[in-house]
Structure 1
């Protein structure tokens, strides 16, 4: 259950669902609870549930299929973790960029060597 704050209800539900996605709670089935289940567990209206899910869609975490449900995207857990920890995400991206720079530098040297022969 969410401890309600001054934020809009849909934002709080979306934040909690992001956290749950990042924690791998839905990884086994790859599917989020139905709107009805969200309404019951968070004690919200269907409009709030839909708006929260739409926010997750905007974040690229889920896709919905009419009549079937809401499903995680392939990298949803990683994306959710990055959204939950933006500082950690920036650090991870910096490390990745540095690794790529090193690899590009090595490739340039190899190409220069091959062109020089």
Structure 2
């Protein structure tokens, strides 16, 4: 965690979200750990609490943290992928499946045309 990069074109809340994401992914913020309170993060990054809330919303939407009303925000204990993008292996498997289905459809069309 730390200061914002004034040369970074991303908005401050995105920079904060990425910094916190890095801390979560590196294990600096372990599963179950409580994130610093809004005022502490606001002070650390020299931004408003609204900006910090926006950063936390990004992390919440990514499934990295949970927020408990009146308690704070915590790193999720059961880590899931940070996003829902398929892996290269999953894409390769899907591609092979689709190719196989396309071959079968082509064969069926050929047989129907012969009738």
Under TM normalisation by the shorter chain, which class is it?
Answer: 0.5 to 0.7
User: When the two structures are aligned, how many residues end up with a matched partner?
Assistant: 89
> 1:42 corresponds to which residue?
45
* 2:22 is equivalent to residue 19 of structure 1: yes
Say if 1:10 and 1:52, in contact at 8 Å, map to a contact too. Answer: yes
On the 8 A contact 1:61/1:75 being kept in 2, the answer is: no
TM-score, length basis structure 1: 0.64
Tell me if structure 2 keeps the 8 A contact 1:9–1:48.
Answer: yes
Higher relative contact order (CA 8 A, sep 6+): 1
Q: C-alpha displacement at 1:42, in angstroms? A: 0.9
In the TM superposition, residue 74 of structure 1 has moved relative to its aligned partner by 2.0
Structure 2's unaligned 5+ residue stretches are 94-115
Largest Rg, 1 or 2: 2
1:79 is aligned to 81
Aligned residue for 2:112? none
| Matched residue, 1:3 | 5
Give the TM-score normalised by the residue count of structure 2.
0.65
Residue 59 (structure 2) aligns with: 56
